[in-house]
Amino acid sequence: MEFDLVVKNGLIVTASEILPPGLEIGIKDGKITCLGTSLPVSSSTKILDAEGAYITPGGIDSHVHLAQDNCPTGDGWESGTRSAIAGGTTTVIAFASQERHHSSLFPVLAAYHAKAAGQAYSDYSFHFILTNPTSHILTTELPRLATDEGITSVKLYMTYEPMQLSDRALLEIMLACRALGMTTMIHAENADMIALIIAGLEARGNLAPFFHAVARPRIAEDEASYRAISLAELVDAPMLLVHMSSETAMQHVRSAQDRLLPVHAETCPHYLYLISETLREQPHDHFHGAKHVCSPPLRHRVGDLEALWRGVANGTFTTWSSDHAPSKYDHPQGKKAGLKDGVMSFKTIPNGLPGIETRMALLFAATEACLPAAEARLGLPRFVQLTASNAARMYGLGGKKGSIAPGYDADLVIWYPKGRGETVVSNGMLHHDMDYTPFEGLKVGNWPRYTILRGQVVWDRDNGGVVGEKGYGEYMKRGKGEVIVGKVGQPVHGMLENERQFWMNP
Ligand code: DUC
Ligand code: ZN
Ligand code: ZN
Ligand code: ZN
């Protein structure tokens, strides 16, 4: 057996264990073909010495917004995926977004493909945001999307007027997705609670960035999360709640999982590291809080964060995604859209934070330092589940991405040996096309030293930085997602086991 590349002297981490030292990774034609000791090398084999450091699967960021029409000032595909590989992410799943007036998904998809084609440094795929789920789309287009286009997940919104769906629409989509083996992702916030609070804030002139967080309290997320779980339970559909930020909402997920319902949850670095205090006015800069405006908002207390860390450690959360939703700060269509003629309004600040490049290092930090909420550190296998393997399985890339084993794409992150990767995050070191990072000044213990995508070193931090090429990233058609938590076929609370047969297909 000839290898193109052999990675040696590393400690290989999978979703279940740290493999014994001495195992080498043999790579041929972009795939891992062998794990073994003393692998044969020829004159054409490249050797990469990991120097005793951990090797984890290339990251899969399953929640990324690139070149969406509603964030025109942030990253496009080139800068967004360049930033991804520099942070150890080899696959991004971004959104193609239907607007209400779009009666077919295919022209929308073509437009998103056109934006990404030839631009990507990382591999990529799309989820579809559905805002107008006509019966034609549900019965004719979704099946084609799943089978022909390899798009097997949709994101649905319970809030935001241009995107919000009724409970009935959510149910209809869940049923359609269930039949196709598609995954439903839900943005859960109670739209009417938020609208009421915003009206009250407006009437009182409370419009500085901080009031964005006041307008979207935890209870709005808690109620909508519980409702989304109930809707999914009724129709027996696997579901994932995206960007969760609330302890109570997380507990709703936990108790659904205790009942073996197929309910999954995602959280993001900013909810674990930042609090809403950063949205407050500073004496020198009244508007800088706009940099931290995202939905759900950052929460108020450190205690909120500690609870979420427990969910990260105990398995409640399935995925750790960036929710990279970049809008430049100093740009009239970016965050400064909320500041006109000296007058602030959080209502017109685009929502979302950049974080595609910092995602992996911010969770790796929890494997090296004690978690805020516990004496324990996060296990490395759990790090792998959260950053790569669970997303691969849930979103239909299982067997190809997200693990280090023969047959898988050779997507790897090689970290620094302990003690050598310490990094203070600053915007200047990042590769996105943004004028700030919300994590400025945060210190992490390690950073990806090399990122390897399908056998090619695309990030070499000490020798050239981004050494991959634009356009090397490929579009990934995805298969059906796997249910990772619980199982389908659970009876609804209080319903006879076979009662669904009277009103829905098995
Ligand atoms: N939802 C997201 O998924 N990202 C950014 C803002 C939002 O509301
Ligand atoms: Zn349009
Ligand atoms: Zn959202
Ligand atoms: Zn998002």
For residue 159, give the ligand 1 atom closest to its CA. Answer: 8
> Is 401 within 8 Å of 40 (Cβ atoms)?
no
Give residues (CB < 6 A) around ligand 1.
187, 242-243, 294-295, 323, 325, 351-352
Predicted confidence band of residue 303 (pLDDT cuts 50, 70, 90): confident
pLDDT score of 375 more than 80:
no
CA of 12 to the centre of ligand 1 (A): 34
Structure tokens at 238: 């696997």
Predicted confidence band of residue 368 (pLDDT cuts 50, 70, 90): very high
- Pick the ligand that lies closest to the CA of residue 353: 1
**Which residue from 425, 422, 397, 423 is spatially nearest to 411, judged by alpha carbons?**
397
- SS3 (DSSP) at 36: strand
Domains of the chain: 59-394 (3.20.20.140)
Region 144-152: what's the mean pLDDT?
98
C-alpha to C-alpha distance for 401 and 61, rounded to whole angstroms: 12
Structure tokens at 144: 């084609």
Predicted confidence band of residue 293 (pLDDT cuts 50, 70, 90): very high
Region 193-221: what's the mean pLDDT?
98
Rg (CA), the chain: 22
- Pick the ligand that lies closest to the CA of residue 74: 1
Structure tokens at 93: 């799943």
pLDDT score of 348 more than 90:
yes
Q: Please state the separation of Cα 270 from the chain's center in Å.
A: 12
Q: Please state the separation of Cα 501 from the chain's center in Å.
A: 35
- Pick the ligand that lies closest to the CA of residue 101: 2
Give percent above pLDDT 90 in the chain: 92
This prediction's pTM: 0.97
- Please state, as a whole number, how many other Cβ atoms lie within 10 Å of the Cβ of residue 462: 8
For residue 155, give the ligand 1 atom closest to its CA. Answer: 3
CA of 129 to the centre of ligand 4 (A): 10
> Is 333 within 8 Å of 293 (Cβ atoms)?
no
* Residue nearest ligand 1's atom 5 by CA: 352
Q: What is the pLDDT of residue 485?
A: 95
Q: What is the pLDDT of residue 498?
A: 85
- Please state, as a whole number, how many other Cβ atoms lie within 10 Å of the Cβ of residue 440: 13
DSSP state of 388: I
Q: Which of 75, 268, 323, 353 has the most ligand 1 atoms within 8 A of CB, as the residue to mutate?
A: 323
Q: Which of 62, 155, 190, 243 has the most ligand 1 atoms within 8 A of CB, as the residue to mutate?
A: 243
pLDDT in tens, 406-465: 999 999 999 999 999 999 999 999 999 999 999 999 999 999 999 999 999 999 999 999
Please state the φ and ψ torsions of residue 45, each to the nearest 5 degrees: -85, 130
Region 1-9: what's the mean pLDDT?
95
Q: What is the ipTM of this complex?
A: 0.91
For residue 352, give the ligand 1 atom closest to its CA. Answer: 5
* Residue nearest ligand 1's atom 3 by CA: 323
C-alpha to C-alpha distance for 96 and 93, rounded to whole angstroms: 10
C-alpha to C-alpha distance for 480 and 396, rounded to whole angstroms: 5
- Pick the ligand that lies closest to the CA of residue 132: 2
CA of 200 to the centre of ligand 4 (A): 27
pLDDT score of 156 more than 80:
yes
- Pairing status of strand 11-12 against strand 54-57: parallel
* Beta-carbon neighbours within 5 Å of ion ligand 2: 99
C-alpha to C-alpha distance for 102 and 105, rounded to whole angstroms: 7
**Which residue from 135, 139, 228, 146 is spatially nearest to 181, judged by alpha carbons?**
146
* Residue nearest ligand 1's atom 7 by CA: 295
CA of 203 to the centre of ligand 4 (A): 29
C-alpha to C-alpha distance for 222 and 242, rounded to whole angstroms: 13
Beta-bridge partners for 184: 154, 239
pLDDT score of 26 more than 90:
yes
